[in-house]
């Protein structure tokens, strides 16, 4: 039997289209991949099992991956965040941050999100030739994060730069000296900025989440400044990366399926199910990492203790054992078992906000644009082990016909 080369999840081919690689992994569901000989968990049932069993599969491995030796003296706030904790520490931290991340907090943003989305969509309709990421997919969630945390709106580009820098860091991939120097400077700048915000909110509280986090208290305990910096970083990365790439993936797929777009425009009530299908097929968060705490048998394979595990939500969401027509967009699909926002104790706190942003954004966009034509240039994908999305999406937007179009909304 011929031995095949292990799949490299950081390769350009994988980044461009992971679906055939996922299919190969699911055919032999527990196997090692590069970089670093990670044990890939690719089937839905197994991924779900790993995510709901933190006693067997520890999130603390993320601390090592996110904090390479060359960050000594600077640190990575994401590596000290709620993402890298196991219960009971994670339980206490989540209880604290949940006090500020409420449905009321999210609901108060709805009107402003719709207004900004409408203004951005009108710009896309008017300009027609745009990079969709820069024209729409980035500015909207950047506005939301700025509103949520009380950041100056002019920081839009800087917020995305910080977020991109953080998610590109992994101890398993070597970096050249000039890149190391740049990343150290970028992370130092981010942490300095967040500490300035914390100092300001402590002196002058506002109606924003950072002010609410400062006074959040559970059993007499409040968040430390370092914990506030870490959670602010989580919100920055999660809030930007999820929605930027979700919007980009959605419009890319709409351009490839004009009949589906026409139906969604005629029936805006279908937008939520459309968003769920994009989350299933093109989840922004594709892979997370865990470490076995003891020998574990999974999928008929015995994983040794302290084995690094790549948990492939992107593959699980395409598992043909769980979803019929798993690689196709099915508009009326009911998919209660999506793993795009995780599962178990680490299920994403920001999932309701991301969904609301996407629903409102697409309502406003589809009301003003009846179609999209993608550029023939090859897409450029971001550089990250766990998150996948286009960094640029040049396209031509076809304006909706005013008045004559049932899907149009006056601006």
Tell me the pLDDT tens digit for each residue of 213-238. Answer: 999 988 889 999 999 999 999 999 98
H or E stretch covering 195: helix 177-203
3-state helix, strand, coil in the chain (%, to 5): 55, 10, 35
User: At residue 204, does pLDDT exceed 60?
Assistant: yes
User: At residue 2, does pLDDT exceed 60?
Assistant: no
Please tell me the pTM assigned to this model. 0.91
Average model confidence (pLDDT) across the chain: 91
Burial of 243 (0-12, 13-18, 19+ CB in 10 A): buried
Split at pLDDT 50, 70, 90, the class of 409 is very low
> Does residue 227 contact residue 195 with C-beta atoms inside 8 Å?
no
| pLDDT score, position 182 | 96
Alpha carbon distance 191, 196 (integer Å): 9
| pLDDT score, position 331 | 83
Residues facing 34 on adjacent strands: 8
Is 360 in a helix, a strand, or coil?
helix
> Does residue 155 contact residue 262 with C-beta atoms inside 8 Å?
no
Residues facing 308 on adjacent strands: 291
Cβ-based neighbour number of residue 153 at 10 Å: 11
> Does residue 388 contact residue 286 with C-beta atoms inside 8 Å?
yes
User: At residue 405, does pLDDT exceed 80?
Assistant: no
Split at pLDDT 50, 70, 90, the class of 335 is low
Work out the percent of the chain whose per-residue pLDDT is above 90: 76
Torsion of CA 292, 298, 300, 304, to 10 degrees: 0
Split at pLDDT 50, 70, 90, the class of 408 is very low
Domains of the chain, first to last: 12-399 (1.10.630.10)
| pLDDT score, position 106 | 87
Q: Which residue would you say has higher pLDDT here, 226 or 150?
A: 226
| pLDDT score, position 260 | 93
Please compute the mean of the pLDDT values over residues 236-255 and round it to a whole number: 94
| pLDDT score, position 143 | 93
Split at pLDDT 50, 70, 90, the class of 150 is confident
Task: Read off the tokens for 250.
Answer: 């959605």
Q: Tens digit of pLDDT for each residue in 105-125?
A: 888 899 999 999 999 999 999
C-alpha separations of 202 from 43, 207, 222 in Å: 46, 12, 13
| pLDDT score, position 234 | 93
Please compute the mean of the pLDDT values over residues 70-74 and round it to a whole number: 93
Give the neighbor-by-neighbor strand order of the sheet with 287-292.
30-33, 38-41, 308-312, 287-292, 57-58
């Amino acid at each position: 039997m011929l031995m095949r080369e292990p799949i490299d999840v950081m390769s350009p081919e994988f980044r461009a289209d992971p679906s055939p690689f996922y299919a190969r992994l699911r055919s032999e569901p527990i196997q090692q991949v590069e970089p670093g000989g990670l044990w890939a968990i690719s089937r839905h049932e197994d991924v779900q099992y790993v995510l709901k069993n933190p006693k067997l599969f520890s999130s603390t491995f993320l601390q090592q991956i996110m904090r390479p030796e060359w960050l000594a003296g600077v640190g990575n706030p994401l590596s000290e965040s709620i993402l890298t904790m196991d219960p009971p520490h994670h339980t206490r931290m989540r209880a604290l941050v949940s006090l500020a991340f409420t449905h009321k907090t999210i609901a108060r943003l709805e009107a402003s999100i719709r207004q900004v989305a409408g203004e951005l969509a009108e710009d896309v309709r008017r300009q027609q030739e745009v990079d969709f990421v820069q024209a729409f997919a980035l500015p909207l969630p950047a506005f939301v994060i700025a509103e949520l945390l009380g950041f100056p709106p002019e920081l839009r580009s800087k917020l995305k730069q910080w977020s991109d820098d953080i998610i590109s860091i992994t101890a398993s991939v070597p970096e050249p000296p000039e890149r190391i120097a740049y990343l150290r400077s970028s992370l130092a700048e981010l942490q300095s900025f967040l500490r300035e915000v914390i100092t300001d909110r402590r002196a002058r509280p506002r109606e924003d989440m950072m002010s609410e986090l400062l006074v959040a208290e559970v059993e007499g305990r409040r968040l430390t400044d370092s914990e506030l910096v870490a959670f602010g970083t989580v919100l920055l990365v999660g809030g930007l990366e999820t929605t930027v790439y979700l919007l980009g993936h959605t419009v890319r797929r709409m351009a490839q399926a004009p009949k589906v777009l026409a139906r969604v425009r005629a029936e805006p009530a279908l937008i939520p199910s459309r968003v769920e299908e994009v989350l299933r097929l093109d989840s922004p968060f594709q892979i997370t990492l865990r470490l076995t705490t003891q020998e574990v048998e999974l999928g008929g394979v015995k994983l040794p203790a302290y084995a690094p595990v790549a948990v492939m939500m992107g593959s699980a969401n395409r598992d043909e054992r769980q979803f019929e027509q798993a690689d196709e967009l099915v508009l009326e699909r009911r998919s209660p078992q999506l793993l795009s926002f995780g599962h178990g104790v680490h299920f994403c706190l920001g999932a309701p906000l991301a969904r609301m942003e996407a629903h409102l954004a697409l309502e406003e966009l589809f009301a003003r644009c009846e179609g999209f034509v993608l550029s023939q240039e090859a897409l450029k994908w971001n550089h990250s082990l766990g998150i996948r999305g286009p960094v640029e999406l040049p396209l031509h937007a076809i304006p909706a016909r005013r008045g004559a179009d049932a899907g149009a909304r006056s601006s």
